[in-house]
Amino acid sequence: MRILHSVRIALAVTAVCAASALISQAVRAPSSVPASCPERWDGDRPGGWVPAAADLDGVEESLVPGEPVTAMICAYPGHNARPGGERLAGSRILTGEAGAMARDLDYLPVTTADPGGPCTQKGGAMTNYLIRFAYPRGEALWVGSAEEANSCVTTTNGTVGSRSYVGRDIAAAYRTGTWSPAPPDDPCQGFPGRRGQNERMVPGEPVSVLVCGRATYDRPSPRLEHGGPTAAALAATLNSLDTLPSENVCRGGGGAQDDTLLLLFGYPEGPPAAVRVLTACDPGVNNGLLQANLDANARDQVKRLAPPA
Protein backbone atom coordinates (compact mmCIF):
# COMPACT_ATOMS: atom_id res chain seq x y z
CA MET A 1 0.00 0.00 0.00
CA ARG A 2 1.34 3.43 -0.85
CA ILE A 3 1.53 5.94 1.92
CA LEU A 4 1.90 9.50 0.89
CA HIS A 5 3.94 12.27 -0.57
CA SER A 6 3.75 15.66 1.13
CA VAL A 7 4.11 19.02 -0.53
CA ARG A 8 4.69 21.92 1.78
CA ILE A 9 2.69 25.06 1.00
CA ALA A 10 4.75 28.21 0.60
CA LEU A 11 3.16 31.38 1.91
CA ALA A 12 3.89 34.70 0.30
CA VAL A 13 3.27 38.03 2.05
CA THR A 14 0.35 38.98 -0.19
CA ALA A 15 -1.12 35.67 -1.31
CA VAL A 16 -2.03 32.25 -0.09
CA CYS A 17 -1.23 29.33 -2.34
CA ALA A 18 -3.53 26.49 -3.15
CA ALA A 19 -2.52 23.02 -2.23
CA SER A 20 -1.44 19.66 -3.45
CA ALA A 21 -0.20 16.50 -1.84
CA LEU A 22 -0.55 13.10 -0.60
CA ILE A 23 -1.31 9.51 -0.66
CA SER A 24 -1.24 8.04 -4.08
CA GLN A 25 -4.70 9.01 -5.27
CA ALA A 26 -5.52 11.68 -2.66
CA VAL A 27 -5.16 15.19 -4.01
CA ARG A 28 -5.11 18.28 -1.87
CA ALA A 29 -8.21 20.34 -2.63
CA PRO A 30 -9.01 23.99 -2.03
CA SER A 31 -9.19 24.98 1.62
CA SER A 32 -12.98 24.59 1.96
CA VAL A 33 -13.87 21.19 3.39
CA PRO A 34 -17.26 19.80 2.29
CA ALA A 35 -19.87 19.75 5.06
CA SER A 36 -21.58 16.54 3.97
CA CYS A 37 -20.47 12.98 3.22
CA PRO A 38 -19.48 12.39 -0.42
CA GLU A 39 -21.89 10.06 -2.19
CA ARG A 40 -19.03 7.79 -3.32
CA TRP A 41 -15.61 6.77 -2.09
CA ASP A 42 -13.26 8.22 -4.67
CA GLY A 43 -10.16 6.17 -3.79
CA ASP A 44 -9.16 2.88 -5.38
CA ARG A 45 -8.00 0.95 -2.32
CA PRO A 46 -8.86 0.47 1.38
CA GLY A 47 -8.33 3.77 3.17
CA GLY A 48 -5.82 6.36 1.98
CA TRP A 49 -8.24 8.91 0.51
CA VAL A 50 -9.94 12.13 1.60
CA PRO A 51 -12.15 14.45 -0.46
CA ALA A 52 -10.19 17.54 0.60
CA ALA A 53 -7.05 18.17 2.64
CA ALA A 54 -7.53 20.83 5.31
CA ASP A 55 -5.37 23.93 5.58
CA LEU A 56 -4.96 23.76 9.37
CA ASP A 57 -1.96 24.26 11.63
CA GLY A 58 -0.46 20.94 12.65
CA VAL A 59 -1.70 18.73 9.80
CA GLU A 60 1.92 18.00 8.85
CA GLU A 61 2.61 16.42 12.27
CA SER A 62 -0.69 14.88 13.36
CA LEU A 63 -3.69 13.16 11.80
CA VAL A 64 -6.04 15.30 13.90
CA PRO A 65 -4.43 18.40 15.42
CA GLY A 66 -6.15 20.65 17.92
CA GLU A 67 -9.46 20.04 19.67
CA PRO A 68 -12.41 19.29 17.39
CA VAL A 69 -15.91 19.40 18.89
CA THR A 70 -17.77 16.98 16.61
CA ALA A 71 -16.92 14.08 14.34
CA MET A 72 -19.12 12.80 11.53
CA ILE A 73 -18.35 9.24 10.36
CA CYS A 74 -19.34 8.31 6.79
CA ALA A 75 -19.39 4.60 5.82
CA TYR A 76 -18.74 3.06 2.37
CA PRO A 77 -19.06 -0.76 2.50
CA GLY A 78 -17.65 -2.99 -0.22
CA HIS A 79 -15.28 -5.89 -0.86
CA ASN A 80 -11.48 -5.76 -0.91
CA ALA A 81 -11.38 -7.70 -4.19
CA ARG A 82 -13.23 -4.85 -5.93
CA PRO A 83 -12.06 -1.66 -4.21
CA GLY A 84 -13.09 1.79 -5.40
CA GLY A 85 -16.32 3.67 -6.01
CA GLU A 86 -18.21 2.38 -2.96
CA ARG A 87 -21.53 4.13 -2.31
CA LEU A 88 -22.32 5.98 0.90
CA ALA A 89 -24.30 3.69 3.23
CA GLY A 90 -24.88 6.13 6.08
CA SER A 91 -23.34 8.50 8.60
CA ARG A 92 -23.20 9.03 12.33
CA ILE A 93 -22.35 12.11 14.41
CA LEU A 94 -20.16 11.85 17.50
CA THR A 95 -20.20 14.89 19.79
CA GLY A 96 -18.80 14.29 23.26
CA GLU A 97 -16.56 11.55 21.86
CA ALA A 98 -14.88 13.69 19.18
CA GLY A 99 -12.13 14.98 21.45
CA ALA A 100 -11.20 11.50 22.69
CA MET A 101 -11.19 10.16 19.13
CA ALA A 102 -8.94 13.01 17.96
CA ARG A 103 -6.57 12.47 20.90
CA ASP A 104 -6.19 8.76 20.14
CA LEU A 105 -5.61 9.38 16.42
CA ASP A 106 -3.09 12.06 17.36
CA TYR A 107 -1.01 9.37 19.08
CA LEU A 108 -0.54 7.41 15.84
CA PRO A 109 2.83 7.66 14.06
CA VAL A 110 2.55 9.57 10.79
CA THR A 111 4.81 10.00 7.80
CA THR A 112 4.95 11.56 4.37
CA ALA A 113 7.12 8.72 3.06
CA ASP A 114 5.99 5.46 1.49
CA PRO A 115 7.25 2.47 3.51
CA GLY A 116 5.83 -0.02 1.02
CA GLY A 117 5.95 -3.63 2.04
CA PRO A 118 3.67 -6.58 1.34
CA CYS A 119 0.13 -7.13 2.56
CA THR A 120 -1.54 -10.45 3.12
CA GLN A 121 -4.14 -11.23 0.48
CA LYS A 122 -7.13 -12.58 2.39
CA GLY A 123 -10.34 -11.68 0.60
CA GLY A 124 -13.30 -10.33 2.50
CA ALA A 125 -15.63 -7.50 3.35
CA MET A 126 -14.20 -4.00 3.52
CA THR A 127 -15.67 -0.70 4.65
CA ASN A 128 -14.03 2.60 3.86
CA TYR A 129 -14.65 5.41 6.32
CA LEU A 130 -14.40 9.18 6.15
CA ILE A 131 -14.43 11.15 9.39
CA ARG A 132 -15.14 14.88 9.27
CA PHE A 133 -13.81 16.63 12.38
CA ALA A 134 -15.32 20.08 12.98
CA TYR A 135 -13.62 22.76 15.10
CA PRO A 136 -15.12 25.55 17.24
CA ARG A 137 -14.25 28.36 14.80
CA GLY A 138 -15.75 26.63 11.79
CA GLU A 139 -12.68 24.83 10.41
CA ALA A 140 -12.96 21.18 9.47
CA LEU A 141 -10.68 18.26 8.59
CA TRP A 142 -11.28 14.92 6.87
CA VAL A 143 -9.61 11.65 7.89
CA GLY A 144 -9.90 8.59 5.64
CA SER A 145 -9.40 5.00 6.79
CA ALA A 146 -10.96 1.53 6.43
CA GLU A 147 -11.83 -1.71 8.14
CA GLU A 148 -10.35 -4.49 6.03
CA ALA A 149 -9.75 -8.25 6.30
CA ASN A 150 -5.95 -7.94 6.13
CA SER A 151 -5.69 -4.88 8.42
CA CYS A 152 -3.54 -3.41 5.63
CA VAL A 153 -4.86 0.13 5.46
CA THR A 154 -3.56 3.68 5.29
CA THR A 155 -5.22 6.27 7.49
CA THR A 156 -4.70 9.82 6.19
CA ASN A 157 -5.73 13.43 6.66
CA GLY A 158 -4.65 14.32 3.12
CA THR A 159 -1.20 15.54 4.17
CA VAL A 160 0.23 12.78 6.36
CA GLY A 161 -0.74 9.19 6.89
CA SER A 162 -0.28 6.22 9.19
CA ARG A 163 -0.13 2.44 8.69
CA SER A 164 -1.27 1.81 12.29
CA TYR A 165 -4.57 -0.04 12.00
CA VAL A 166 -7.62 1.61 13.60
CA GLY A 167 -10.29 0.29 11.25
CA ARG A 168 -11.92 -1.94 13.85
CA ASP A 169 -12.24 0.93 16.32
CA ILE A 170 -13.71 3.28 13.70
CA ALA A 171 -16.22 0.61 12.67
CA ALA A 172 -17.29 0.16 16.30
CA ALA A 173 -17.72 3.94 16.71
CA TYR A 174 -19.87 4.06 13.59
CA ARG A 175 -22.08 1.23 14.86
CA THR A 176 -22.45 2.45 18.45
CA GLY A 177 -21.96 6.21 18.31
CA THR A 178 -19.28 5.86 21.00
CA TRP A 179 -15.51 6.05 20.67
CA SER A 180 -14.16 3.38 22.98
CA PRO A 181 -11.14 1.54 21.51
CA ALA A 182 -10.77 -1.93 22.96
CA PRO A 183 -7.31 -3.27 23.80
CA PRO A 184 -6.34 -6.42 21.88
CA ASP A 185 -7.13 -9.76 23.48
CA ASP A 186 -3.46 -10.65 23.11
CA PRO A 187 -1.04 -7.71 22.87
CA CYS A 188 1.61 -10.00 21.38
CA GLN A 189 -0.56 -10.46 18.26
CA GLY A 190 -0.83 -6.77 17.42
CA PHE A 191 1.61 -4.27 16.00
CA PRO A 192 0.64 -0.85 17.38
CA GLY A 193 2.51 2.35 16.69
CA ARG A 194 3.19 5.55 18.56
CA ARG A 195 3.77 9.15 17.53
CA GLY A 196 7.46 9.85 16.94
CA GLN A 197 8.36 6.46 15.48
CA ASN A 198 9.02 8.11 12.14
CA GLU A 199 11.97 9.86 13.83
CA ARG A 200 13.22 7.36 16.43
CA MET A 201 12.95 3.61 16.73
CA VAL A 202 11.56 4.03 20.26
CA PRO A 203 10.23 7.53 20.99
CA GLY A 204 9.86 9.21 24.35
CA GLU A 205 10.55 7.59 27.71
CA PRO A 206 9.05 4.10 27.98
CA VAL A 207 8.29 2.73 31.44
CA SER A 208 8.13 -0.97 30.51
CA VAL A 209 8.83 -3.39 27.68
CA LEU A 210 6.95 -6.59 26.91
CA VAL A 211 9.09 -9.04 24.89
CA CYS A 212 6.97 -11.49 22.88
CA GLY A 213 8.39 -14.62 21.27
CA ARG A 214 7.13 -16.52 18.24
CA ALA A 215 3.72 -18.18 18.49
CA THR A 216 3.15 -21.70 17.20
CA TYR A 217 0.01 -23.41 15.95
CA ASP A 218 -0.65 -24.97 19.36
CA ARG A 219 0.41 -22.23 21.80
CA PRO A 220 0.38 -18.45 22.08
CA SER A 221 3.50 -16.30 22.05
CA PRO A 222 5.72 -16.73 25.11
CA ARG A 223 6.30 -13.36 26.76
CA LEU A 224 8.33 -11.65 29.44
CA GLU A 225 7.79 -8.13 30.79
CA HIS A 226 10.56 -5.86 32.09
CA GLY A 227 10.40 -2.61 34.04
CA GLY A 228 11.46 0.97 33.42
CA PRO A 229 15.27 0.79 33.70
CA THR A 230 15.46 -2.21 31.36
CA ALA A 231 13.03 -0.60 28.90
CA ALA A 232 15.04 2.63 28.90
CA ALA A 233 18.33 0.81 28.34
CA LEU A 234 16.92 -1.26 25.47
CA ALA A 235 15.32 1.81 23.89
CA ALA A 236 18.65 3.66 24.06
CA THR A 237 20.40 0.75 22.34
CA LEU A 238 17.82 0.57 19.54
CA ASN A 239 17.86 4.34 19.11
CA SER A 240 21.64 4.25 18.67
CA LEU A 241 21.33 2.14 15.50
CA ASP A 242 21.62 3.78 12.09
CA THR A 243 18.12 3.83 10.64
CA LEU A 244 16.64 4.15 7.17
CA PRO A 245 13.00 4.49 6.04
CA SER A 246 11.32 1.12 6.36
CA GLU A 247 10.26 -0.94 3.37
CA ASN A 248 8.79 -3.50 5.79
CA VAL A 249 10.77 -6.31 4.18
CA CYS A 250 14.09 -7.96 4.98
CA ARG A 251 16.46 -10.49 3.42
CA GLY A 252 17.01 -13.93 4.89
CA GLY A 253 15.37 -15.15 8.06
CA GLY A 254 12.67 -17.74 8.55
CA GLY A 255 14.98 -20.58 9.57
CA ALA A 256 15.17 -22.52 12.79
CA GLN A 257 17.91 -20.23 14.10
CA ASP A 258 15.90 -17.08 13.50
CA ASP A 259 14.56 -15.53 16.70
CA THR A 260 11.46 -13.50 15.92
CA LEU A 261 10.61 -11.11 18.74
CA LEU A 262 8.08 -8.32 19.19
CA LEU A 263 9.06 -5.57 21.62
CA LEU A 264 6.16 -3.54 23.04
CA PHE A 265 7.36 -0.43 24.87
CA GLY A 266 4.76 0.87 27.32
CA TYR A 267 4.13 4.47 28.46
CA PRO A 268 2.10 6.12 31.22
CA GLU A 269 -0.43 7.25 28.59
CA GLY A 270 -1.23 6.33 25.02
CA PRO A 271 -0.42 3.27 22.93
CA PRO A 272 2.77 1.21 23.07
CA ALA A 273 5.56 1.58 20.54
CA ALA A 274 6.16 -1.69 18.73
CA VAL A 275 9.51 -2.86 17.35
CA ARG A 276 9.94 -6.20 15.58
CA VAL A 277 13.33 -7.96 15.73
CA LEU A 278 14.32 -10.82 13.41
CA THR A 279 17.80 -11.87 14.41
CA ALA A 280 18.64 -13.73 11.16
CA CYS A 281 17.15 -11.12 8.85
CA ASP A 282 18.69 -8.00 7.34
CA PRO A 283 17.67 -5.31 8.26
CA GLY A 284 16.60 -7.06 11.44
CA VAL A 285 14.96 -4.21 13.38
CA ASN A 286 11.72 -2.61 12.18
CA ASN A 287 9.12 -0.33 13.78
CA GLY A 288 6.98 -0.01 10.65
CA LEU A 289 8.44 3.36 9.66
CA LEU A 290 12.15 2.85 10.32
CA GLN A 291 14.47 -0.12 9.83
CA ALA A 292 17.98 -0.81 11.09
CA ASN A 293 20.60 -3.55 11.08
CA LEU A 294 21.23 -5.38 14.34
CA ASP A 295 24.68 -4.86 15.80
CA ALA A 296 26.27 -7.26 18.28
CA ASN A 297 25.29 -5.19 21.32
CA ALA A 298 21.63 -4.94 20.30
CA ARG A 299 21.49 -8.64 19.39
CA ASP A 300 22.90 -9.74 22.75
CA GLN A 301 20.68 -7.36 24.72
CA VAL A 302 17.52 -8.50 22.99
CA LYS A 303 18.37 -12.19 23.41
CA ARG A 304 19.01 -11.72 27.14
CA LEU A 305 15.53 -10.21 27.56
CA ALA A 306 13.67 -12.78 25.46
CA PRO A 307 11.25 -15.19 27.15
CA PRO A 308 12.22 -18.85 27.41
CA ALA A 309 11.38 -20.75 24.25
In the chain, CATH 2.60.40 sits at 191-305
pLDDT score at 5: 34
pLDDT score at 98: 94
Helix spans in 94-199 (H): 98-106, 167-176
Would you place residue 117 in the very low, low, confident or very high pLDDT band (cuts 50, 70, 90)? low
Looking at the predicted structure, is the pLDDT value of residue 9 above 80?
no
pTM of this prediction exceeds 0.85: no
In sequence order, what DSSP letters do the residues of 53-111 get, joined into one string?
Answer: ----TTTTT-SS-S--SEEEEEEEEEETTS-S-PBP-EEEEESTTHHHHHHHHHTS--B
pLDDT score at 23: 38
Residue 137, class by beta-carbon neighbours within 10 Å (0-12 exposed, 13-18 middle, 19+ buried)? exposed
CATH of 191-305, one of 1.10.3470, 1.10.287, 1.10.10, 2.60.40: 2.60.40
Phi, psi of 293 (to 5 degrees): -80, 140
| 204 dihedral zone (left: phi>0; alpha: psi -120 to 50; beta) | left
The residues, any chain, with a CB within 8 Å of residue 302's CB and separated by 6 or more, are 211, 234, 259, 261, 263, 277, 279, 294
The residues, any chain, with a CB within 8 Å of residue 279's CB and separated by 6 or more, are 257, 258, 259, 260, 261, 294, 299, 302, 303
Q: Which amino acid is at 279?
A: T
pLDDT, tens digit, for every residue of 157-176?
999 999 889 999 999 999 99
Would you place residue 29 in the very low, low, confident or very high pLDDT band (cuts 50, 70, 90)? very low
pLDDT score at 255: 54
pLDDT score at 121: 80
Looking at the predicted structure, is the pLDDT value of residue 224 above 70?
yes
Neighbours of 239 (CB within 10 A): 15
The residues, any chain, with a CB within 8 Å of residue 36's CB and separated by 6 or more, are none
